Amino acid sequence: MSGAGYWSKAIAKADAISPKAGALKRLDRFRGAVAKLDPAMQLRAWNELKAAVQTITDRYAR
């Protein structure tokens, strides 16, 4: 199975279990993609992800 096919099925299966499991699979996929970048780009990608997750958390914490 190709990489794209694997992740699509793995994420769909995890989403069926729970939203949290789906989010963790998406983070695994992101971690694998970011690992191929240079350290400065890795840091920038993680900081952008952190900001996006914080925005979502703030929206639903109210």
pLDDT in tens, 28-61: 999 999 999 999 999 999 999 999 999 988 988 8
C-alpha atoms less than 13 angstroms from C-alpha of 10 in its C-beta half-sphere: 14
| Residue where the block lists tokens 């952008």 | 48
What is the spatial distance between Cα 48 and Cα 50, in angstroms, rounded to a whole number?
5
- Please tell me the predicted confidence (pLDDT) of residue 2: 67
